[in-house]
Each structure stands twice: as C-alpha cells, then as structure tokens.
Chains A and B, each alone.
Chain A
Amino acid sequence: MRTLAETLPKEELFHSGHPLCPGCPGGMMLRWITKTLGKNSICSMAATCMALPAMVYPHSLEIPCLYIAMAPSPAGITGVSAAIKILKRKGRIPADRKISVFALAGDGSAGDIGMASLSGAAERNDDGIFFCFDNEAYMNTGIQRSSSTPRFSWTTSTIKGKPEKKKDLPRIMAAHDIPYVATVSVAYPDDFVRKLEKARDMEPGFKYLHVHSPCPTGWRFPESKTIEIARLAVETGLWILYEVDHGSLKVNFRPEKRRPIEDYLRPQGRFRELSQKDIQSIQDRIDNRWRDMRN
C-alpha cells in the first residue's frame, strides 16, 4: 500500500518557519489540507491558532485567505461561494473552474461564538468544507474553557475542573442533514485525507470535518507525545472515527478491545485532579456511547 507521503502532491502551499507551538498538530493538518485541496482553493479563517501561520504578517499560505472576525468563518464560505456562483454566471470566472472553498475554525469559534453562523451556513447548504480544529479549549487566548472542553478538565477558567460535559458538535452538525459530516484525528492521516478527498469531490454543499487535535500546551503533556495522545483517544474509544454520508452513519474504526480511558487521561496534566469515581464516570459514558454505536 502506498503511503500518504507518496500519494500527496510534493508541492508545499504551507511553509516551514510558522509560529505554531512545538508539538502542535496544526502544521501537519494544514499540510494535508492544502495538499489535498490544492491551489484552487479559498480559505475563510476564524480567529484560531490556525490563523497564526496563515495570517500573521509576513506569514501566509499560498492560498487566498480571508479573516473577517471570530464568529463568521462559515459566513465567509457563504459569501465566497455566492460570489463564485454569480461571477461564473457572468463569465468573470470560467464556468468550468473548480474552486474549493473551506473554513478553518477552532472549537470555541465553531461551537460557541460562531454557532449561529455555522448552523446558518449548514442549513442553507452553502458550498464549502468546514474544519473544526478541536483542541478542546480557547488555546490562542491561553487555555480557557469552551463548550468543547471535556468534563473534569482543568483550564485557566476552570481551575477545579469543568463541571459540564463536552458539546457534541459533529452530532449537532449531522442533525442539519448536510451532505457530509466526519470526525477525524491527527493520528490517522489516511482516514483524514480520504474523508477530505470525499468531501472535496462531492456535489456542492456544506461538508463538516471535526478534527480531534491534542494540544501539548493546553493539555499539559510533553510535546513529543501529540500523536500518541491522539491515538489513545481513538483506541480508548473516547474519540470515535465515523462519517455521516448523506444521512448514513458509518463507524470507520472499531478498536478490537478498547483500552481503559485511564491510559488516555493519565499522561495529561489537565486531568491530574481526577478521582477514581470521575474516571469511572467517563469510562461508563464511553461504554454507553459504543453500545449505541453497535450497529
């Protein structure tokens, strides 16, 4: 079997020397995205860690990028794709030219401040691919709790652990009945790129990819362990790799035997204060979720 390194284009549209933290998986993700979508793309950017390599002068991608504000990166997809449609009709953009429109947003932008914008663009089925880069807190501003922060997690605004549960954004997006929703992980690049290619090659419409992205800075683990942590999230069954293709759900990876959740929680400083009871309650939730996902 050929590896991604062999199949993806050699050309780099995202360059080294970027200002992401050491150990941040965002750099890899941006390479996979830019290589898969290619030069014929336009990006709508939220206020996110991912804006740093693309938008902080003098860094940039070799893809046009637009930053409006924290909330409306989905509205950016809407505006760009609407403009492309009318400009094609008027002949100012060649009618047969395929331009991929995509948005990059963090979990705080996608699930909190930009939720209305995201839901609106999905409901209108505007043409583009939306990436939620989920590092489970407001990392760019210094690790504050978001609705996507998991229960019991330490952040700088939940110093005794977050009491509430994580918002399940992919399920909310699937409820919009859009053409495609998928969960991906930075530890599974083949699955990531395959799903992205699928979204890219689909008919026009709104596609949603939710990326589970461990953050060494905010989750408090050594920067060499990013992929290990990401893989543990999948192997423990906490993060389920699945896709909803035109309403039909498919789980893409079922661990033969799920590892105990403690293996995932223990290396992370953000879960240091968890009691055995807390850990058991997380384990119970995972077991219940998989029972629901049995078929």
Chain B
Amino acid sequence: MGTHKMLTGNYAAAYGAKLARVEVTPVYPITPQTHIMEKMAEFIENGELDAEFVSVESEHSALAVAIAAQATGARSFTATSAQGLLYMHENLFVASGLRLPIVMVLVNRALGAPNSIYPDLSDSLDQRDTGWIQVYVENAQEAHDMVVQAYRIAEDKRVLLPMAICFEGIIISHYMEPVEILDQEKVDNFLMPYLPEHVILDPDRPMSVGQIVMDDSYYMEYRYQQQEAMDRAKEVIQEVDEAFGQSFGRYYGGLLSTEMMEDAEVALLTLGSLASTARAVVNHLRNEDGISIGLVKLRMVRPFPDQELSELLSDTKVVVVLERDVSIGAGGIVYTELCRSLNGRNGPHLINYILGLGGRDVTFEDIKDIALLSCSERHTTTIDNPIRWYQVRGL
C-alpha cells in the first residue's frame, strides 16, 4: 500500500515523477504549472530524489535540455502550460523524431489573446500532430499514476515516443484531493531504469543524432516508422494499464473507458475533468429517470482510438461530444477527430458542445440539460447545427 495524502494535481504529478526516479528535470515557471517545478526542486534539494534540476531561461530550452539529456541516456521530465508549450513547439517534433521517450506534464491553460490562466484544452490538443502520445486525465490520482505509467509506455522498445500527460489548470492542478502515493519499491518493480540502445550520445559508439536528410533520402521512412510506433503504442497502453492494475489495483481502461455503454442510445463523450461531472449525470439519468445513456471517457488523443470508438459507437444513436477546446473554423477538436474515426459509416448522429472555455464553470445541471436535449434528438433524421457553443453570453 502507498501512503495517502491531500495533494493538488500538480503535486500528485510531481510525486509521480519522483517515484519514476527521473534523472534530469529542466523546467521554466508558468502558471498554472509552476508548483510542479517547485516540488521537483524541493525533492532534489532535500535529497529525496537524486536528479539534476536545471532552471532554464525558457521553455524552448527546457525541452532542448530534456532532449539532450535523454539522448545522453538520462530519464528526463519537464512540465509546462499554454504559451510555454507553444514556445517549445518546434522541439516537440524533435523529441518524437529522435524517438526520445521524454515525459512531460501539460497543465492545460487558455492561450492568449486574451490572456487567461484558466483552462482550455486547445493548447495541448494543438500539439496533437507532433508525434507525442497524449493522455488526458480527470483527477490528481490519475495524473499521479499516469506519470509512472507514461515512462513504461514511452520507453517500451515497441514505442520509443515521448508522452504528455494533460490535465486542466486550476481545476485539477490547484485543488486538493486525496491521493494514494504509490509505493516506491513497487514502482521500482514496475518501471525498469532507462537503458537506451537506439539513440545514445556515447563516445564509444559515435552517432549523429538529428541528421539532415536530403530530398531523396529517408525522411519519409522516419515518419512512417513513427506512425508504426504510434500504432503499436495502442497495445502497449493496454498492456501497461493491465500491469498497473495488477500491481496497484487501479485500472483506467487504457485508450478510453466507458460507463453504462451497453445498450446506450445516447453517449456523452468527453475528456479531462468534464468526465467526472458527466459520469455523475449519466448515473443520475440512468438510475433516476431510466434514460438509456452512457459515458465514453476519451483518455488517449494520440494514438486516437479510431477502431475502438467506431466499434463501441456502432449501435449508438447520438454521440454528444463535450469539450473545453475549439479549432476556430472547424469546431471542437475531439469532435472533428471523431468525425474522422467514424468516416463513411452509418453511425450515430454527432453533436458537439463547445463549453467551459477559459475555465468557465461547467456544472452538473449544464451537462444534464445538454444530455436531455440530446436525448430528444435521437429520433430525428438529421441534426441541425451539430456544432454548438454552450451558453455564450450576448447571443
């Protein structure tokens, strides 16, 4: 058994990194991530963790230092939010292109302008094409557990891709929850040290890492191998979820998890902290009103569970995607991804609610209203205005 503590999401994630025995942690402060940086500095300063803490001068360098350290054979960890993430954007491609299993916590924050420290998932979803595995978690415990799992997934020889653990700033990062801190000895059995063979800056085995390839060289093959690795990551994610459950007693479902989806006519599909609220709504509507409704909590956005979702939703009449993000000019990002997943199938009607941007509160009643309205649409032949902005002021 681990020990129980009241922790914020940020501290829970930092404890996870400590248990994973990360070796180099370059970090730059940005609200709402900063507590992770502070906690890592404290662990290292106190001697609780043997690692190199590097206080870099920018997020661009934070990820560059992580890349260089990981390429030298050290397990690296960093964290950021919003503008900081975009500032390091080019290096995200470098980390995945070099096949370096760096783990980073992304505390979701709205992107300026206008400037806000409250959440909007658009910052990390915007990075979905960079070749990183992305998991979205709904509470501090899941953040803690997933940092540990992430190293095992990312470092698996079938994968070797960097991984991001994403959660909403303030809502998850700053509020305290009871968290079971995993037992170090059990984590050590679950997660082996990082001993790379594929990419290593070792004078005994000189290697050019990050080569320039000319037009008819191997650029396409590099990219294809990343795609293959991302495909293989799906089964590794499931395996690691299973192994984690056996060791620590918590199963998360891997790519996604479901609630009352057997025979559900309407499905609420969401991610992050909204999943907790939506779960309560689904339980309420099922138990109190006998409505045929279920929940799909999307965990992995990369790799996106295309096959799994299209099988899961084949008999569902309406899928309502609730999300705290938007791709201006297209709709919610998860909704557009789901459209791609279900492409060409005679599947369910899809409705998209964009809500809670900039940390606007999304209550039980809000999701219940949306759910009931969507239930009334399950017998229509076509859905009007499938992309809906929820409760925008002044409309």
Contacts and interface: CB of A to CB of B under 8 A. Distances in A.
A39 B201 CA distance: 12
Contacts, number: 163
A78 B65 CA distance: 6
Contact of B26 (A52, A62, A78): A78
Given A42-B201, A55-B210, A64-B203, A78 B61 contact: yes
A90 B205 CA distance: 20
Interface in B310-345: none
Contact of B23 (A44, A55, A77, A83): A83
Nearest to B25: A82
B118 to A, nearest CB: 28
Give the contact-size bracket for chain A: 35 or more
B72 A42 contact: yes
Interface string A62-85: 111111110110111111101111
A70 to B, nearest CB: 9
Contact of A80 (B68, B91, B205): B68
B73 A87 contact: yes
Given A42-B72, A66-B209, A72 B64 contact: yes
Interface string B197-241: 000111101111111111001100000000000000000000000
Interface string B10-47: 00000000000001101000000000000000000000
B79 interface: no
A74 B65 CA distance: 9
B58 interface: yes
A1 interface: no
A99 B61 CA distance: 22
B280 to A, nearest CB: 44
Report the interface size class on chain B.
35 or more
Interface hub of B52, B74, B207, B208 (most chain A Cβ within 10 A): B208
A56 B56 contact: no
B60 A72 contact: yes
A65 B65 CA distance: 15
Contacts of B214: 56-57
Interface of B: 23-24, 26, 50-52, 54-58, 60-61, 64-74, 76, 90-91, 94, 195, 200-203, 205-214, 217-218
Given A64-B206, A76-B68, 14 more contacts: A56-B214, A60-B206, A62-B206, A64-B203, A72-B64, A75-B26, A75-B60, A76-B64, A82-B24, A89-B50, A90-B23, A116-B57, A116-B60, A119-B57
21 contacts: A42-B203, A55-B211, A55-B212, A57-B213, A57-B214, A57-B217, A63-B206, A65-B206, A65-B209, A68-B64, A68-B210, A78-B68, A79-B69, A82-B26, A82-B54, A82-B69, A84-B72, A86-B50, A87-B23, A87-B73, A124-B54
Interface of A: 39-42, 44-45, 51-52, 54-57, 60-69, 71-72, 74-80, 82-87, 89-90, 92, 99, 116-117, 119-120, 123-124
State the 7 A-B residue pairs at the shortest beta-carbon distance, nearest first. Answer: A79-B68, A120-B57, A72-B64, A83-B72, A67-B210, A75-B64, A83-B74
